[in-house]
Structure 1
């Protein structure tokens, strides 16, 4: 019986002393982990993009994107966003088949060829080199106004051959 009591006391000690040390070590490891070129991890989840862009683009798939506060440095990125936080969503995604061509053929917008000049380095592997990007200021203005109280800024570029959209979008969080 004494041998069991010794094991029980040792387990209690390890639980009481070890758990906080593991949590502290994990938290410090996360805080000081190298952030990389753009300070953010490339995301592939679709729910935030479909919520934000559904009225303009419909359902997206196969997305690669970044979302971050553009006013914070990498060292401040562990803070909770405030009401005046500007969040940038930038990335590339597939549209439903035929959607890009339907948007590009809309006579209300004059799409012109463009280059992706503000493409973050982390997203370059996901962008086809032969993509023929087209952009329209009037489409951007209309797409960004739909259902929003504060009009964000941004641009959408489309590749009709691959049904791709590139988005670079800044909005106020809050």
Structure 2
């Protein structure tokens, strides 16, 4: 009978002492857990863009862009996918006459392209309202093929490029698949 009473007292002590410790531990975990990413920061650095897009666009300047994993849920703590899809989207200025030089090549057959679609909200303020965008599926195929051949470590790109020759602007929306 005394041995059972000792077990009951020990359980009561562990419950009374352990409950506050568990509560403090849960509270500290909550305070120290990283916040989910709710907003993307617009980037203006040029080196990553010029490394990936420069070989077929020329030296880019005055860029506003985003680069992010489109499968990232922010605060999701699941097992990461073996494949990641990185979206690089934004606007940049080409050297003087650079857009006209690209759109003027007859082998790409550029035509009116309409405004960029599915532009993230953070970039909309940098999109000129009166831009006259031109697009060429042939140039997209050229740029995507050239990027895959020259930059195998940077993933396999699929992208769409729009040009405004009056402002020497390029809008790029490229998806890199890393396997």
Tell me the TM-score normalised to structure 1 length: 0.74
Preserved CA contact (<8 Å) 2:110 2:136:
yes
Aligned to 1:165: 170
Change (3 A) 1:57 1:82: farther
CA distance in 1, matches of 2:170, 2:37: 30
Aligned to 1:113: 112
C-alpha distance after superposition, 1:42-68 (max 9, x if no partner): 111111000001111111011000000
Higher mean C-alpha deviation, range 142-151 or range 158-167? 142-151
Q: 2:38 aligned with 1:35, yes or no?
A: yes
Aligned to 1:156: 161
Q: Structure 2: which 5+ runs fail to align?
A: 1-27
Preserved CA contact (<8 Å) 1:50 1:60:
yes
Q: 1:35 deviation in Å?
A: 2.2
Aligned to 2:130: 130
Q: 1:173 deviation in Å?
A: 3.2
Tell me the TM-score normalised to structure 2 length: 0.72
Preserved CA contact (<8 Å) 1:62 1:94:
yes
CA distance in 1, matches of 2:37, 2:69: 18
Q: 1:172 deviation in Å?
A: 1.8
CA distance in 1, matches of 2:88, 2:74: 16
Q: 2:90 aligned with 1:91, yes or no?
A: yes
Coordinate RMSD, CA, aligned? 2.6
CA distance in 1, matches of 2:32, 2:105: 52
C-alpha distance after superposition, 1:3-43 (max 9, x if no partner): xxxxxxxxxxxxxxxxxxxxx9xx948x327623xxx1111
C-alpha distance after superposition, 1:141-173 (max 9, x if no partner): 001111244642110100000000000000123
Preserved CA contact (<8 Å) 2:37 2:75:
no
C-alpha distance after superposition, 1:106-141 (max 9, x if no partner): 010111212211211110100110000111000000
Preserved CA contact (<8 Å) 1:159 1:165:
yes
- What secondary structure does 2:171 align onto? strand
Rg larger for: 2
CA distance in 2, matches of 1:44, 1:82: 28
Q: Structure 1: which 5+ runs fail to align?
A: 1-23
Tell me the matched-pair count.
145
- What secondary structure does 1:103 align onto? helix
